[in-house]
Amino acid sequence: MTYLGQMMRNSILWSSLLAWFIAQFLKVILTIIFMKKLDLRRFVGSGGMPSSHTALVVSLATSIGLAEGFDSPLFALAAAVSLVVMYDAAGVRRAAGKQAAILNEIIAALQTHQSIPNEKLKELIGHTPIEVIAGALLGIIVSLIFAYS
C-alpha cells in the first residue's frame, strides 16, 4: 500500500480539509453578502468569519475522538493543539491585526506631511471570539456529518 493511497483513504484528514474548505468558501460568500463584492482573495486569506484554522483543527480533534475514542491519547493531543490554535487565532493574531490598523493610520497621517513608504500592513490577521466559536462549531458539524454518512 502506498503512502498516497493511505492518505487518500484517510477520512479524518478529508473531514478536516473539508471543514477548512467550507470555512474559506463561507468567507467569500459572506463578503459578497455584506460587502457587495466578489473578493476571491478571501478564499486563501486569513481572518474573517468563520475561522478556518479553528474549523480544521476542531474537525481533526472531533474526528479522532469519534474514531479512536474521546479518552485516547491521540484525541488529547489533537484537542490540545486545537486549543493552542484557537487561542492564537483570537489572541496573538488578533492583537497583531489591531497593531497593523493603528500603524496604517499613522502612516496615512505622516504621508500628508512627508514622503514615506506607501506599503499598508495586512489588518485582517486574527479572529474575534465569535469567529473562532463559529469555526469550532463548523468543524464539529462537518466531522459528525462525515462520520455518520
Question: Which of helix, strand or coil describes residue 113?
Answer: coil
What is the predicted pLDDT for the residue at 93? 65
Q: Which three cell numbers stand for residue 34?
A: 455584506
pLDDT at 115: 62
The identity of residue 17, as a single letter, is: L
Residue 41 has a pLDDT of 79
* DSSP letters for 49-95: SS-HHHHHHHHHHHHHHHHH-TTSHHHHHHHHHHHHHHHHHHTHHHH
- Per-residue pLDDT tens digits of the chain, which is 149 residues long: 699 989 999 999 999 999 999 999 999 998 899 889 888 877 787 777 899 999 999 999 999 999 999 999 999 999 999 999 988 887 776 667 667 777 777 777 777 776 666 666 565 566 788 888 999 999 999 999 988 87
Q: How far apart are CA 127 and CA 94, in angstroms?
A: 6
Q: Is 62 exposed, middle or buried (0-12, 13-18, 19+ CB in 10 A)?
A: buried
Contacts of 87 (CB under 8 A, 6+ apart): none
Q: For residue 116, what pLDDT is reported?
A: 62
Output the pLDDT for position 146. Answer: 87
Q: Is the preceding omega at residue 50 within 30 degrees of 0, hence cis?
A: yes
Q: What is the pLDDT of residue 76?
A: 97
Four-point Cα dihedral 129, 139, 142, 125, nearest 10: 70
CA–CA distance, 85 with 148 (Å, rounded to integer): 26
